[in-house]
Structure 1
Amino acid sequence: MSILARLERLPMSRPQYGILFAGGLGHLFEALDIVIIGFMLPHLKAEFGLDNAQIGLIGGAAPVGMIIGAVLAGVVGDRFGRKRVMLYALSLFCAASIALAFANGFAFILAVRVVGGLGAGAEAAIVSPYISEFATGRNRGRFVSGVTLFFSLGNVVAAVLGSLVVPLPGGWRIAAVVCGLPVLVLLWWRRSLPESPRWLLSQGRVADADAVVTRLEERVTAARHGAALPPVPPAAVVAPAAPAVSWSPLRVWRGGLARVSVATWLGSFVFLFAFFGFFTWMPSLFLEIGVDPGIAATYSFFLFVAQPIGYLVAIAVSDRFERRTLLVTFFGFAALASIALGIVPRDSVALLLIGMVLSVCITCISGIVFPYCSEVYPTAIRATGAGLASTAGNAGGLAAPVVIGLTFGSIGFGGVFAVMAALLALGGLVIRLFGPRVTGKTLEQVFAAETAPIPAGEVHARQ
């Protein structure tokens, strides 16, 4: 009886949701770390007498670490396993968060922010591949999309801590500890998680994979109060490809995967450019175009409130429709909303309403692009592929604030959103042209479809 067929027939129940929750909490703490530092920076500047250049370096330290962490997580996760990377990444992040509370100067803060970024970047890159390898072709979209909802929850927690705790005397140190200590509990929980059975099979560890699936079957049966599991489907599940021998990240450009990497890299770059560009700059842009400060603050609040709507929409539709089509659609809607935002009257409530539409469209993309990037590569290099796509996205996120600042200075508010619209349209076009179809397929069937044009003898040699 095929191990993968047994895994694919399992109904969703408490054990799988426990895996989802343990992975999603990592995204919550990642978002918390990204946002909370913005509340801390003015206090760090005042306490340590830092100049604007030093504050800028501190603000950019974690994203730089995240780029490196995402690459390392992918390569190491494919070689040594998903679970190990998840534990080490979370340990780095936890240590850096708590260490920040004991900072005594610029160099120390910069160092712990880079280390924390390494952990956060590795965490972000490895969780989606890990969770996707427990999901079935029937429900993988909403299962992995559910992880992204935790990112939005992390933003809310950061706003609460940043508003209520950080302004207190020594509050930024307290907030750093509060961000780090709960991660210790999550680390203890993750120690009990199983390794991915798909990764075990890709390494030839059939007995270990069988043990993981057997235990999961037992737990699902218990969660269903002893109800019989569905029968194993008679159709054979495509076997996972054999592990690649090279550690080179260039593996994702070989064996029929070049088109896939074009789609995931450019799609991720454009998405995170739009995400960080819009949510970082919009509060300031409201003020720059003459919106009253009180109204601007209210508008900015509603832009962030709209975020969970997008994630919930993504969860609701990601298995009902083809995910490639959904990405193209949401990229297109976001491009149209960007154009509208650039030309709407500045004193109109339409400015807020269109901004909220753009916020929802961008977070819809977020809820689908992460699962998509984790399901379009074969098991042996899935973490590497997802990690490199995450790295491309982080590069877009780093570039966005700088590019938008320069663009606003030269061609104004309308020009900013014209550029963003063009990029969003490009992202949708690239995914439509080069991205594979994935909805309803097992991970192995996705890879088989990608390599179908290759001569049969060469495909069999890789399996």
Structure 2
Amino acid sequence: MSSAVSTEGTRSVANGELTRSQRLDRLPFNKLHGRLLGGSGIGWALDAMDVGLISFLMVAIKQEWGLSTAEISWIASVGFIGMAVGASMGGYLADRIGRRNVFALTLIVYGLATGFSALSTGFWMLIVFRFVIGLGLGAELPVASTLVSEYAPARIRGRMVVLLEAFWAVGWILAALIGYYVVPQENGWRWALVLGVVPALYAIYVRRGLPESVRFLEKAGRIDEAEASVRRFEEASGIEPVPSPTPPPAAKPSIKALWEKRFAGRTVALWLTWFGVNFSYYGAFLWIPTFLVAQGFPMAKSFEFTLWITLAQLPGYAVAAVLIEKIGRRFTLATFLLGSAASAIAFGQSSSESAILLTGCLLSFFNLGAWGALYAVTPEVYPTTMRATGSGSATAFGRIASIIGPLLVPWVHDNYGTGTTFVLIAVSFAVAMFAALGLPEWKGRELQSN
């Protein structure tokens, strides 16, 4: 290749030179991409397992401690308060000290806190641990998606991030299996939390086995490390390296930059999309096992239904991974959100076992496909110097909805019934759908540098 095509946020490179980002974009998918995706994905799955477990633990803890619905709601929501704080802090720190370092740190924080929460002797002790767990969980997700996005070749970047998000389904399925087989046993909810120590152990591998972002290394002035990392990926693909220019000095990450004229519209659209998706997802899925028990199903049967509904997440991710590189991020996201809204209304009107399973699976299929598309588009909205900050801020704003949802939804359910509850959830999906149409389309384009 003798020249590179210039895209928004990159400068034209001549004389046979390619930027390191362009060198990464020209590569085919290789074993190092697979290792990065798998390594980040396992951390993502462990994160999902922890979040998913609380929906099963709430049923058991409420019965054992005799808690009210309001108290159980706070056990769910306080974790999301921590996630809101963690997402904002984690994104900013990832732009300052590196994606990999923050990723490993978050695994340690929420892994140890989850293990210690198994020793909780009462409501307030568990509340404190759930907040700390949330700090780690909230910081990890935007950082992991940013790291994968910055290594993925442009033509398959969206697909790789959707596949990363698909590990969420793996983690939630693990949570459903633990909920079904472990939680109903004596002290089962405590043993389920003990399993949450695994992420802390996995952090050792993350710190040593995953690469740091090349774009971050360049912006930090660590040019030799950036070059060595790119060459490892080129060698894995059997492609000869070419010269790369020295990148210009980078500005420090700033929250204020999200609201500059160039980015303000994107920020509003992204934040509203995150808000609507979080409210709908956590308002529905955290409470489905409890709602089913309230309808008269035994706890074990409720958990079985939830396991089958969770399995429908996997084909949702698979379809989204295909469509996102064919019809684009924005249209894929909006389509899956529309399907989510329709499925939510149908689920709220279902009463028979077969109807609950069918509509629940459709809700799971469309909702998690939408999550995959949302995580794919989010890192593409901002340039390198503010990518993790922007992703973390959008995630943090979305977590406000994940705090409100688990508090408001059971109140609506108790006072107005299941049908009205899921109409509310459908409206939230619709708000997210219209906001998503205002996001930029970055299919097949190089990530912005400046």
TM-score bracket for this pair, using the shorter chain length: 0.7 to 0.9
Do structure 1's residue 440 and structure 2's residue 444 form an aligned pair?
yes
In 1, Cα distance between equivalents of 2:175 and 2:133: 16
Aligned partner of 1:244 in structure 2 is 251
In the TM superposition, residue 131 of structure 1 has moved relative to its aligned partner by 0.8
Alignment CA distance shift 1:301-1:115 (3 Å): closer
What is the distance in 2 between the residues matched to 1:285 and 1:356?
16
Aligned to 1:69: 86
2:271 corresponds to: 265
Q: CA deviation at 1:413?
A: 3.6
Q: How far, CA to CA, are the matches of 2:424 and 2:79 in structure 1?
A: 26
1:71-90 alignment, distance < 5 Å: 71-90=88-107
> Residues of 2 paired with 1:31 and 1:201: CA distance?
32
Contact kept, 8 Å, 2:77 with 2:407, in 1: the verdict is: no
1:393 aligns with 2:398: yes
Q: Which moved more, 1:140-149 or 1:53-62?
A: 53-62
**1:327-363: CA deviation from partner (whole Å, max 9, x where unpaired):** 1112222233344445x57459555433332221111
Q: 1:175 to 1:297 in 2, by over 3 A?
A: closer
Is 1:118 matched up with 2:118? Answer: no
Report deviation, 1:30: 1.1
Deviations 1:6-60 (A, max 9, x none): 1111111111111111111111111111122344456656777867665544333
Question: Residue 405 in 1 paired to residue 410 in 2?
Answer: yes
Q: 2:204 is paired with a residue of what secondary structure?
A: helix
Aligned match of 2:286 in 240, 265, 280?
280
Q: Answer yes or no: is the 8 Å Cα contact 2:61–2:67 preserved in 1.
A: yes
How far residue 377 of structure 1 moved from its aligned partner, in angstroms, is 0.9
Q: Kindly tell me: are residues 321 and 44 of structure 1, through their superposed partners in 2, closer, same or farther at Cα, counting changes over 3 Å?
A: same
Distance 1:410 1:175, change over 3 A: closer
Residue in structure 1 matched with residue 384 of structure 2 by the alignment: 379
Alpha-carbon separation, structure 2, partners of 1:105 and 1:338: 35
The question of whether the paired residues in 2 share the 8 Å contact of 1:9 and 1:231 is answered with no
Q: Once structures 1 and 2 are overlaid, which stretch shifts more, 254-263 or 402-411?
A: 402-411
Aligned twin of 1:353: 358
Query: Which of 184, 196, 203 matches 1:179?
Result: 196
- CA 1:410–1:127: 2 relative to 1, 3 Å: same
Query: Aligned equivalents of 1:366 and 1:279: distance in 2?
Result: 13
Deviates more, 1:15-24 or 1:156-165: 156-165
CA RMSD in angstroms, aligned pairs only = 3.2
2:346 is the alignment partner of 1:370: no
Distance in 2 (alpha carbons) for counterparts of 1:113 and 1:401: 14
* Contact kept in structure 2, 1:22 and 1:186, CA below 8 Å: no
Give the Å deviation of 1:202: 2.5
126, 140, 153: which one aligns with 1:109: 126
Supply the AA of the counterpart residue of 1:250: K
- The TM-score normalised by the length of structure 2 is 0.85
Look up the equivalent residue of 1:268 and give its one-letter code: W
Would the alpha carbon gap of residues 201 and 414 (structure 1) be closer, same or farther in structure 2, given more than 3 Å must change? same
Q: Is the 8 A contact 1:93 1:117 kept in 2?
A: yes
The structural deviation recorded for 1:76 is 0.9
Cα offset, 1:152, TM superposition? 0.9
After superposition, the Cα gap between the structure-2 partners of 1:176 and 1:281, relative to the gap in structure 1 and judged at 3 Å, is closer
Aligned match of 2:75 in 35, 42, 58?
58
Any unmatched runs of 5+ in structure 2? 1-16
Q: Which moved more, 1:284-293 or 1:80-89?
A: 284-293
Instruction: Tell me which amino acid in the other structure corresponds to 2:267.
Output: S
Using the size of structure 1 for normalisation, the TM-score is 0.83
**What does residue 5 of structure 2 align with?**
none
CA distance in 1, matches of 2:217, 2:28: 21
Deviations 1:220-251 (A, max 9, x none): 14xxxxxx42897x9x99x988633364x232
Q: Secondary structure at the match of 2:155?
A: coil
Which residue identity does 1:320 align to in structure 2?
A: K
Q: By how many angstroms is 1:201 displaced?
A: 2.1
Q: Could you tell me how far apart the structure 1 residues matched to 2:86 and 2:136 are?
A: 6
Q: How many aligned residue pairs are there?
A: 433
Match of 1:460 in 2: none
Change in Cα spacing, 1:168 to 1:241, as seen in structure 2 (3 Å) is farther
CA contact (8 A) 1:81 1:195 kept: yes
Measure how far apart 1:164 and its partner are.
2.6
C-alpha distance in structure 1 between counterparts of 2:184 and 2:440, whole Å: 48
Structure 1 residues 368 and 108: CA distance shift in structure 2, 3 A: same
Show the counterpart of 2:336: 330
Amino acid in structure 2 at the alignment position of 1:279: F
